[in-house]
Chains A and B, each alone.
Chain A
Amino acid sequence: MYGILEEGMPITMILRKQEFIIEKETTVQQALKQIGVSPESHFALRNGELLTEDERLRDGDVVRVIAVISGGQAK
């Protein structure tokens, strides 16, 4: 669903229907920090593929961000 668009375009991070633009190529870890979420509690998926935090994001990448945290008391 999400993947590489074309060169020269920024990186788009999508978290809960909200889009964030990353202007420069960077790693998954840095991109997650730039949009204000912890890499410990969020995943990045590109083309449905889970990315490790050192994976380099390229111009035009569209990355889906998933929060892994569930909450509340006494499951």
Chain B
Amino acid sequence: MKKSIIQLTIACILIASTIYSQDLGTLRGVVTDSTTSEALAFGNVIVLDLNRGASTDSRGYFLIPQITANKELTLRVSYVGYLTKNIKIRLTKGKVTHYNIALVPSTIQMQTIEKIGEKVIEKNETDISLQRMAIRQIEALPQGVETDVFRSLQYIPGVQSTGDVSARYFVRGGGSNQNLVLIDGITIYNPFHALGLFSVIDPDMINNIEFYKGGFSAQFGGRLSSVLKISTNDGNKNKFGAKASSSFLTGKLLLEGPIPHGSFILTGRKSYSSSILKKFLNDQTVPIDFHDFSFKANYANPDFIPGSKFSFNGFFSGDNINNDDPFVEDFKWSNNVLGFKWFQVGDSPLFYEIGLSMSDFKGEIIPKLSNTRANKNEVTDVGINMDFTYMFDYKDEIGIGFNVQQIQTNLYIENDRGVTTDLGNSAANISLYAKYKFLQFDFIGVDVGMRMNMTTLSRNKEAESFEPRVNFTLNVLPEFKIKGAWGVYQQEMTTVSDENEVINIFEPWIITPDYLIPSKSNHYILGAELTPWKFLMFSVEGYYKKVEHLPLLNDKKILSSDPDFIEGEGESYGAEFLLRLSSDFATFSSAYTNAFAYKVVDGLRYYPKYDVRHTLNFLLELNFGAGWSASASWIYNSGLPYTQVVGYYDKYYLDDVFLPPTIFDPRRPYAMLGIQNIGRMPDYHRLDLSVSKKFRLGFMNLEVDVSAINVYDRKNIFYFKRDTGEIVNMLPFLPTATIKVEL
């Protein structure tokens, strides 16, 4: 198998070489920050003399083929927040000429967010449903306690939450377990701290984010709905530095600096107070304690292997809820991730990356002397991946990848009789993908790909072997694009999650049991983008997503012989509108989504808990200069679905079977439920404000951010406690502050 892949790759390269023009050269480069040497992702590079350009990728790399050789040309490199740089270049005929370009940060704080990720140069980039974000963009948003990547996603049209209490997100009608979260290409299985209130990803470790709401191309697999690809910082290659920050919840520390032929970065975060969590958890005190820690080291020595870059990274997070009371259970869960990558560029326009990874999740409910049942989940995911990208001189790209993933899951559950059973499994997924990006004409870009599962995690014979994907962009006019995507996606892992839980500790992962066919979705997406002026962008996207063989927890399971899961179906469709106005001083964006989502189980169709018909949000970001910036956001959602109470009856509770029968009346009202999720909560809306100031104090750079969540203290209903009649609201008016110190 390996042999055939290598042969295929070599064949592609040879074919490409034969048609490589000898009169022209290829320009390759990497764009970095001059002060830190961090890669600047999604920046713009243009050869002014030829009016041809490219955008940098998530590693800061760019490649422009067919550039006149042996002639001095001017290359303009621009990136928002940095001084635009014009450099003279001269290419060698028939060769790849490499330039390292360092941009100097602008001394005047310009508007920092409006153009990041827009890839204005590559007009035919196949990027429907793709949102690119730099960390500064996320930091500019009003913060709930502290900057959180997952919460920031909820400003994107098509991304939904079940309330501001949880950081879990739902994309285009898909469940939260259908979202793939990758840190430097490695899957994080439970990326949440503190009962799902915050993400485990410390923003300080992030360089850039690519978020695919659907229609993602063939290099991604294993999930039905979305991909969140997070690329981490490399660390400062020029000097040692340290950052410390503190919020009401955590203290953080970052250390970075150069090492011979490379750099390192260490980040750590630790909760020190859980009192702010009472605002999220209906005044309940949860003795939660969490931490996360990441490191990355890079090595790029041209004397060792020219064009190579090696990186070794790790990410570790842990949460503990330890109760002193022996009759209240304890909880702990953790993620441990290790990865090694070899990225290589050569003398030909070929990039390749070879990676080894290990992702491990452990979650445990320790009942101690309580009535709670024991539960322990372990996931071990070990993988090898190889990705090759070759760019032809006529700008088309071919991508080939090979991925081997060995996954072992264990889920130990205590049954009604106190007997522990293991629902775990172990299997390997070997997959190969190939995609061809047709980009040679500026008016059209097409990405055609196929993901082939040579072995599947599921032993069910109906597991899908082929996952075809197509993605296109058509430039009808320079200011007007039509985009579309179609694809088949398969997911062979699922969580044991109860749809009726609005807050849970963690969601155990298992390989879909063999008696179920792995779930499969089809995405159909069509959109248009209008940019009549540089400062105005308007886009619309419509989508239809059909999910088959959706595994759902069998809430009617009574006997141990009953299946744990049953099969359902999902369907969702909607339209998303985005308007963005930007200037050097301000950016205003508004997004509206009209969406519909359904699930069908046992022939009964119902709205999932995250089905929101109308979502509207406004976001205003202002940059006043001199380190001052501010933002305001207003979010409106029509009501979330809920299941109505259709009466009560006095239920007999076997509180104490030893009581004599004549004195018993152990009955309490039991709420009978109507058709699932047929009711709708009142509308949700909230205004958030944020002001931040950066300044220098002696040898330190300081940044103070003050945010206020739910400024007019809207009583947004979170849920109705049927057993007590209490209405529990979401976040009240919540002022927060963060201070950062940088050395």
- Report whether chain A binds chain B: no
List residues of A whose CB falls within 8 A of some B CB: none
